[in-house]
Amino acid sequence: MSSTFYPPQRTLMGPGPSDVSARVLAASARPTIGHLDPEFVGLMDDVKRLLQFAFQTRNELTIPLSAPGSAGMEAAFVNLLEPGDTAIVCQNGVFGGRMKENVERCGATAVMVQDRWGDPVDPEKVAAAIAANPNAKVLAFVHAETSTGVRSDAEQLCQLAKAAGMLTIVDAVTSLAGIDLQVDAWGADVVYSGTQKCLSSLPGIAPITFSADAVAAITSRTHKVQSWFLDMNLIMGYWGEGAKRAYHHTAPVNAIYALHESLLMLEEEGLQASFARHRDNHTALASGLADLGLELAVAEPWRLPQLNAVMIPEGKDDAATRSRLLADFNLEVGAGLGELAGKQWRIGLMGSSSHAVNINRCLSAFEAVLAS
């Protein structure tokens, strides 16, 4: 016979989810009301305002999709691309490959710009791809590649696309609230993220923002968006302005409470303070890892402070080490993905997980496990 589930108390320092604060958890436990209740509609408007703050944008269509970050990615592609379109896709890790899958499933052609996993996207390669494909509609890239711990120069890539009259799709799942992300100033068109990384909210929501140019492209489509659920032409009616909303789906009410609380915490801290906290804690972690003889995998200018890729020392077993960390210290760190599996660990310092106590706990746990 089944019984009530009580999860263990873990320290989440992997690639996500990150630790959820007691304040956010408490918000999620408040009484559920209807998804069209006037009080909830008012909350929806404040969530939009706070997401605009987090994305540094004034885009009207800035909303939390009722689905995880992967659905945010799919929403970006299915709304902008139609059969026969061409998209230039940058791949320097796992998630660029997922972008390619989305392009092809839209009936469009993906022109790939490949870089070594662990390096940022090369703007010169992107410029060459744009020159060779002047009819391409979209440039897609990952700002903070979760699989490698690498940051790419989103501002420069957006400028290249804008100069060519192209739209941009930017994966900011790991970057939002962890490093600078200026949607309007950089001219990004569709930017999507997730709630379980640097926002430290419950998993399952995808913040996303669309520029006016992106909305114009969506409303002028000649083919229906292939996904009914992710069709922005329909969702805009639910997440629009004013008290009157068109029913589209039942929003995850309590998860929106949690997201709202995490966004309030970000607003209270301030974006620049959040970026500085992530950066300073990364510096402390990197110093401690070096003392243990562990090497970071990414060149310093392109390291993500919120996701640290660490080389696995020769002779150390990846899975056994992570299992010991979890069993003996209740500490979760991530494994390498794709071609980096068995070669790297990924240590997250995201959102509520990014503080000195966690850094000390992580370093002490690694020291004990590696010594044994």
Q: What is the per-residue pLDDT across 68-94, written as a single tens digit (0 to 9) for each?
A: 999 999 999 999 999 999 999 999 999
pLDDT reported for residue 269: 98
pLDDT reported for residue 242: 60
pTM over 0.85? The answer is: yes
176 in the same domain as 154: yes
105 in the same domain as 189: yes
Average pLDDT over residues 215-221: 97
Q: Give domain status of residue 36, yes or no.
A: yes
Rounded-to-integer distance, Cα 75 and Cα 73, Å: 5
Query: Could you give the number of structural domains in the chain?
Result: 2
Q: Which of 232, 251, 267 is the last residue of a domain?
A: 267
**What is the band of 243 on the pLDDT scale with cuts at 50, 70, 90?**
low
Longest C-alpha distance within the chain, in Å?
64
302 in the same domain as 235: no
Q: Give domain status of residue 4, yes or no.
A: no
Domain that holds residue 322: 11-16+271-371
CATH of the domain at 239: 3.40.640.10
**What is the band of 240 on the pLDDT scale with cuts at 50, 70, 90?**
confident
Q: Give domain status of residue 2, yes or no.
A: no
350 in the same domain as 233: no
296 in the same domain as 243: no
Q: Give domain status of residue 5, yes or no.
A: no
Closest among 74, 76, 73, 49 to 63, alpha carbons compared:
49
336 in the same domain as 312: yes
Question: Cα separations (Å) of 359 from 52, 153, 275, 285, 320?
Answer: 31, 27, 17, 6, 21
**What is the band of 156 on the pLDDT scale with cuts at 50, 70, 90?**
very high
Lowest mean pLDDT among 6-10, 125-129, 195-199, 244-248: 244-248
Average pLDDT over residues 281-304: 98
Q: Give domain status of residue 140, yes or no.
A: yes
Check whether 241 has a pLDDT greater than 80: no
299 in the same domain as 263: no
For 301-350, the pLDDT digits (tens) are: 999 999 999 999 999 999 999 999 999 999 999 999 999 999 999 999 99
329 in the same domain as 229: no
25 membership: H or E segment, kind and range: helix 22-28
For 16-70, the pLDDT digits (tens) are: 999 999 999 999 999 999 999 999 999 999 999 999 999 999 999 999 999 999 9
In DSSP notation, 254-295 reads HHHHHHHHHHHHHHHH-HHHHHHHHHHHHHHHHHHHHHTT--
305 in the same domain as 260: no
Q: Give domain status of residue 365, yes or no.
A: yes
296 DSSP β-pair partners = 310
141 DSSP β-pair partners = 170
Query: Which residues fall within 8 angstroms of residue 69, CB to CB, at 6 or more apart?
Result: 173, 192, 193, 194, 196, 206
3-state secondary structure of 129: helix
CATH of the domain at 338: 3.90.1150.10
279 in the same domain as 259: no
Q: To which residue do tokens 């990952």 refer?
A: 142
282 in the same domain as 258: no
Q: Give domain status of residue 6, yes or no.
A: no
212 in the same domain as 163: yes
Lowest mean pLDDT among 164-168, 188-192, 236-240, 306-310: 236-240
Q: Give domain status of residue 1, yes or no.
A: no
pLDDT reported for residue 226: 94
Q: Which of 241, 267, 293 is the last residue of a domain?
A: 267
Q: Which of 248, 267, 286 is the last residue of a domain?
A: 267
